Amino acid sequence: MSNFLPNELVKRLNEQEGFDSEAFNKVHEQGDKITSIRLNSLKQDTVPFEDVSPVPWCDRGYYLAERPVFTLDPLYHAGCYYVQEASSMFIAHILEEIGLKNSSIRVLDLCAAPGGKSTLLVSYLGSESLLVSNEVIKSRANILADNIVRWGTSNVVVTNNDPSAFSRLPGYFDLLLVDAPCSGSGMFRKDQDTVDEWSLANVKLCSDRQKRILAESLDALVTDGYLIYSTCSYSREENEDILDWLSTEYAFETISITLDSDWGIEETQSAKHKAIGYRFYPHKLKGEGFFVAVLQKKERQLTFNRKKNKFEKNAVPPKVVSNWIEESQNHVQFMHGDHIHIFPKNYEDDIKWLQHVLYIKQAGTNIGKWTGRELLPSHDLACSVHIKQDLSAQDVTLDVALQFLRKESLDKEHFTAVKSGWCLVRYKETNLGWIKILANRINNYYPKEVRIMNL
């Protein structure tokens, strides 16, 4: 028996046919730390680390031989990659299997913080889809928004709402991803401190909460829409039993996903409806504990009245946006306070519908503050993949990049490419943020709330 794993957890896993408890215990006792990243293909097409190997079920995922200090890598702060657990990258394979890769759909990531699955969704769904990325806890919603900004696309709305709020958008979403809060047993190898918090009572509590979250949000999913449900738990009460509950109460049909036998992913079935799920065990593959299933909604879902919205007259001259954004004709612009935001033109009505029923933390890309005469460019714009490529910029060394990211004073001798005015700070041809070059000094505009605090 393992030295630290809960006996009741291992006992229940042993009830599964063919479960290798010895290997399961051993891999937890060894406590190997696995680090993996997923590239942002809109910013980075090569892995910025040596000695890497591919994550087999995600073509943009890579294992690193050792964990670097990501805080010291400017490309991390620029959103060139996301540090994500490899098992959860399986969502990329699911999207391809169900035909949603590079599609044109509306998607809700209901429990999205810190943002790993949201950034994956927006990458694989492509620029023609709309993602609503929600987090109910305010502090975690701030972290989510920061990671979405780094990723750099304009087709994401970040919201801070209880799941029940989405019942006011019946039949709106084509895909619903619920990475449900759970008892966390799948993370025991990664974080042994969480073991003491595990109990059967907590498993039951989490199962009830998962049902509440689903029950309050499922009306938002259109008929024939897909639900991707996942946890980082090994307990049937939070996994297969939830699939049976969904199949019974809401007429969901199970969807099978093709697996490569070399991956080590275990296909499982629920007891009553034989709904298919996929389990990731750390003794069978290179990743942490994870469970995921795909279901398709078959009951008839009424939708809300999608009437056309009347938009207020825009006070911002169109040329202001086109001076800073590539292909600005593909975006609509709107004011939020004194800031200009851009949003995909094909979802112009959607932003108004969402505003009526949700608390929106961030919509599209905030390109800057409009003074009435000029635009003061935002950090969001610097991170955006839509920013014009011919703006004034200076590529800098690693040392200077880190000084910038710490929001320290900068020496003009490192910025000879631009004589005065707004200048993008770049590292390896990737934008990090803004400075403004004045006659006798440089103003560092890197946001203080995301600056590097400790080195």
Q: Enumerate the known binding-site residues for S-adenosyl-L-methionine.
A: 111-117, 135, 162, 179
As to burial, measured by CB atoms within 10 angstroms (0-12 exposed, 13-18 middle, 19+ buried), residue 348 is middle
Beta-ladder partners of 173: 221
Catalytic: 232? yes
As to burial, measured by CB atoms within 10 angstroms (0-12 exposed, 13-18 middle, 19+ buried), residue 228 is buried
Residues 131, 157 contacting (CB under 8 angstroms): yes
The bridge status of strand 365-370 relative to strand 339-344 is antiparallel
Distance CA 66, CA 340 (A): 42
In the structure encoding, which two tokens stand for residue 267, read together?
């296909």
Distance CA 244, CA 207 (A): 12
Q: How far is CA 181 from CA 117, 203, 212, 232, 268, in A?
A: 14, 11, 11, 8, 21
Catalytic, out of 206, 232, 383, 423: 232
What is the CB neighbour count within 10 angstroms for residue 286? 17
Distance CA 112, CA 393 (A): 34
Distance CA 333, CA 316 (A): 8
Select from 130, 116, 34, 121 the least CA-distant residue to 79.
116
The one-letter amino acid at 63: Y
Residue 234, SS3? coil
Helix, strand, coil content of the chain in percent (nearest 5):
35, 25, 40
Residues 61, 54 contacting (CB under 8 angstroms): yes
Residue 172, SS3? coil
Q: What torsion do the CA atoms of 393, 395, 398, 399 make, to the nearest 10 degrees? A: -70
Beta-ladder partners of 393: 424
Catalytic residues: 232
